[in-house]
Amino acid sequence: MSDTVTKFGPVSFIEGKKGGRYPFCHSLYIEEAGVVIDPSSDLDQLQEIARSGQAKSVWLSHWHEDHIMYLDLFEGLPISMHKADMPPLTSLETFIDWYFHSGSDLESMREEWRQMMLDTFNYKPREISRFLEDGDIIDLGSVTVEVLHCPGHSPGSLSFYFREPQVLFLGDTDLTPFGPWYGDIYSDIDAIYRTVARLRNIPAKVWLTGHEQGIFESDPGSLWDDYLQVIQTREDKLLDFLVVPRTLEDIAGHWIIYGKPKKPVEMYAFFEKISMSKHLDRLIKNEVVESDGDQYWLK
């Protein structure tokens, strides 16, 4: 394998294109067991694995498109994931519904996503062969894996702890400066806090993530707190903006998550709106913000 692959005992880390930035991610491969995790990294490396005939199964850390792009290379192999993230894999319309509610007034954007999922991410409906559950201990021969259900980014997000080499794959708890992403309908901010609290206490020696830096060979330390602080910083900016009543459209137009409009603007504006609505729901629950259903203001 090439210099895009780093081995930690039996666990191979495959660096994604663009440094593992969207629309790519980093993948893992456990050669002895033939397990490929999140096949959306480096096409050449994944093709080499597929041609070798040694791959036996695919595991998915969660349902997002940037983790399934090259699933077609492993056609016919069993797919394993958490049951809570299964629905988008079974139907393209369901996949899109998990971003944009069915019946929304965003049909033009839904159509763009249909084409993108087919053209860029090679989408086709899949059957899930095995559901991975929190606490599952799986013997892969050369290594034992503990399955960790880590919701927040998605309902069924998984992390994997490879016990013998003490390697922890964090999935999309990726410790990037951007911070957590919770822009789809079923993301959950409070669950992200619980997930980070759990993961930072796993006795790992190496931490692998789904995006960007990807490999941490010493404890991420303050990066755990920095990652969560992004949520609080966003919330503080939102509270400052609510010194006068604002609509959700006003709030989304303030671009607290992305900082400025990004192209395609319609799509990122929608993700901004979803993310901000989650903050607003949380602040209302905590009795910090009030709403009449149209506008929001500080209590």
CB–CB of 140/191 below 8 Å? Answer: no
pLDDT of 195 over the 90 cut: yes
Mean pLDDT (the chain, rounded): 96
- For residue 158, is pLDDT > 80? yes
Choices 3.40.50.720, 3.60.15.10, 3.40.640.10, 3.40.50.1820: CATH for 5-220: 3.60.15.10
pLDDT of 102: 64
Distance CA 92, CA 116 (A): 11
CA distance 159 to 156: 10
The pLDDT of residue 105: 63
Domain residue ranges of the chain, discontinuous segments joined by + = 5-220, 231-298
Model pLDDT for residues 64-90, shown as the tens digit of each residue: 999 999 999 999 999 999 999 999 999
Looking at residue 257, what is its pLDDT?
98
Nearest one of 252, 90, 242, 111 to 183, comparing CA atoms: 252
Higher pLDDT, 236 or 109: 236
Q: For residues 84 and 97, what is the distance between their CA atoms, to the nearest angstrom? A: 15
The mean pLDDT of 187-206, rounded to a whole number, is: 98
Split at pLDDT 50, 70, 90, the class of 31 is very high
pLDDT over threshold 60, residue 267: yes
**Is the Cβ–Cβ distance between 95 and 89 less than 8 Å?**
yes
Residues 100-135: tens digit of each pLDDT: 876 666 788 889 999 999 999 999 999 999 999 999
Kindly state the average pLDDT of the residues 264-288.
94
263 DSSP 8-state letter: S
| pLDDT given at position 9 | 97
What is the pLDDT at residue 2?
67
Per-residue pLDDT at 106: 76
Report the pLDDT value the prediction gives residue 103, as an integer from 0 to 100.
61
> Could you tell me the pLDDT band of residue 170, with boundaries at 50, 70 and 90?
very high
Q: What is the mean pLDDT of residues 290-298?
A: 97
Overall fold of domain 231-298: Arc Repressor Mutant, subunit A (1.10.10)
Q: Are the CB atoms for 13 and 214 separated by under 8 Å?
A: yes
Q: Of 265 and 27, which is predicted with more confidence?
A: 27
